[in-house]
């Protein structure tokens, strides 16, 4: 079952993460859906990059984060599928639990497979998915390419393609705020509440 590995790693009486269900897993193979990137400060920092597909979030851990720079060939390690309820998860995973640390919703939006890729699951099986991302931070064409390193089939590369939305030198670490709450990982770790996104606008109207 798709979420068995996800569930086996976690104790849902001890972590605030969702236990989740596979939703609509029998639907036809997708050519797009939602995506989310979560900045997860665990034992090692990484950016969990997840595509909504066939009722789950198909997931990769990207240590240095996605980039808009086509020269940045980011290692992306395929990890276990996550439940759709994980999409907006932000919070602290307690010490001693799997993935202990803090998580923010670093970016979210829609992904679309390139024309000519009618079935994204088939494309992943074949080891190459060309897609577009339209998020708050990430835009443009990307390719996910399986590049087995010493036979490890979990290792992929995430590369921005050379297009109008490519930006040389773009680094995820220069864009640290949650698109959901305006918080940093430090804010979440310290238990600080969301910064109201309308704050600036309200202040402007009062001025």
Least Å distance, CB 46 to Mn ion, is 6
Among 6, 35, 40, 133, binds Mn ion (CB under 5 A): 40
User: With left for phi above 0 and alpha for psi between -120 and 50, is residue 173 left, alpha or beta?
Assistant: alpha
Nearer to Mn ion, 40 or 139 (CB): 40
Least Å distance, CB 182 to Mn ion, is 21
By CB under 5 A, the count of residues binding Mn ion is: 2
Alpha helices in the chain (DSSP H): 4-8, 120-126, 185-189, 199-206
Nearer to Mn ion, 68 or 93 (CB): 93
Among 3, 30, 47, 48, binds Mn ion (CB under 5 A): 48
**Distance, CA of 146 to CA of 152 (rounded, Å):** 10
Stretch touching Mn ion by CB under 5 A, among 37-45, 82-90, 113-121, 144-152: 37-45
Contact 181, 90 (CB under 8 A): yes
Nearer to Mn ion, 103 or 113 (CB): 103
Nearer to Mn ion, 97 or 112 (CB): 97
The b-or-e profile of 21-39 (16+ CB within 10 A means b, else e) is eeeeeeeeebbbbbbbbbb
Nearer to Mn ion, 48 or 107 (CB): 48
Stretch touching Mn ion by CB under 5 A, among 39-47, 69-77, 85-93, 121-129: 39-47
CB atoms near residue 150 (< 10 Å): 5
Contact 37, 108 (CB under 8 A): yes
Q: Which residues bind Mn ion (CB under 5 A)?
A: 40, 48
């Amino acid at each position: 079952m798709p979420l068995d590995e996800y569930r086996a790693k976690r104790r849902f009486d001890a972590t605030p993460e969702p236990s989740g269900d596979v939703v609509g897993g029998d639907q036809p193979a997708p050519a797009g859906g939602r995506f989310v990137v979560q900045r997860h400060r665990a034992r090692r920092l990484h950016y969990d990059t997840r595509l909504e597909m066939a009722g789950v979030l198909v997931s990769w851990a990207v240590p240095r984060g996605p980039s808009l720079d086509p020269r940045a060939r980011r290692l992306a390690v395929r990890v276990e599928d996550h439940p759709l309820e994980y999409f907006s998860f932000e919070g602290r995973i307690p010490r001693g639990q799997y993935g202990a640390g803090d998580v923010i919703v670093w970016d979210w939006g829609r992904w679309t497979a390139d024309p000519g890729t009618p079935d994204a699951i088939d494309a992943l099986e074949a080891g190459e998915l060309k897609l577009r991302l339209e998020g708050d931070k990430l835009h443009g064409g990307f390719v996910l390419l399986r590049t087995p390193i010493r036979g490890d089939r979990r290792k992929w590369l995430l590369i921005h393609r050379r297009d109008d939305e490519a930006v040389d030198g773009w680094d995820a670490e220069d864009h640290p705020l949650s698109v959901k709450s305006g918080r940093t990982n430090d804010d979440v770790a310290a238990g600080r509440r969301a910064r109201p996104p309308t704050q600036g606008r309200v202040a402007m109207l009062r001025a």
